[in-house]
Amino acid sequence: MMNTTRSCGLVLLCALLMLGGICQTSVAGAVCTVESSPGGKPGPLMKHLSPDCTKAEREAQAVPAASVMQALTQRQAVDLVGVVLQGDLIFDQLPVRKSQIPKGLTPEQQAALSALNDEEQRIVAGNLIIRDSVVDGALRHRSAKGTLEFEGTVDFHGTRFTDGVDLSRSVFQKSLAIDGALFEREAYFVQGHFAQGLSCAETKFGPHTRFHRSAFRGPVDCQGSLFDGMAEFLEVVCEAPVNFERARFGLGTGFSGAHFKKLANFSDAIFSREAFFAFVVFSGEARFAGAQFLQAADFSNADFKRGADLAKVRFDQKPLTNGTKGIAQEGAGKGGQSDFQQYAITLGILLVAAFLVAYAVKLK
- Tens digit of each residue's pLDDT (9 = 90 or more) over 153-173: 999 999 999 999 999 999 999
Q: What is the pLDDT of residue 148?
A: 96
Phi, psi of 12, rounded to the nearest 5 degrees: -65, -40
Rounded to the nearest angstrom, the gap between the alpha carbon of residue 239 and the centroid of all alpha carbons in its chain is 18
Report the range of poorest mean pLDDT among 107-111, 243-247, 279-283, 302-306.
107-111
The one-letter code for the residue type at 130 is: I
- Beta-bridged to residue 260, according to DSSP, are 238, 282
* Start-to-end Cα distance in the chain: 93
Mean pLDDT of 330-356: 44
- Collapsing DSSP to helix, strand or coil, 76 comes out as coil
Q: Does residue 6 carry a pLDDT above 50?
A: no
Q: CB burial class (10 A; 0-12, 13-18, 19+) of residue 68? A: buried
- Collapsing DSSP to helix, strand or coil, 150 comes out as strand
- Candidates 290, 215, 295, 214; CA nearest to 253 is 295
Does 293 or 359 have the greater pLDDT score? 293
Length of the chain: 364
- Identify the DSSP state of 78: E
The answer to whether 50 and 82 have CB atoms below 8 angstroms apart is yes
Phi, psi of 264, rounded to the nearest 5 degrees: -120, 110
Mean pLDDT of 134-163: 95
Q: Does residue 338 carry a pLDDT above 60?
A: no
Mean pLDDT of 69-79: 96
- Beta-bridged to residue 298, according to DSSP, are 276, 320
pLDDT class of 3 with cuts at 50, 70, 90: very low
Tell me the CB-side half-sphere exposure of residue 352, using CA atoms within 13 A. Answer: 6
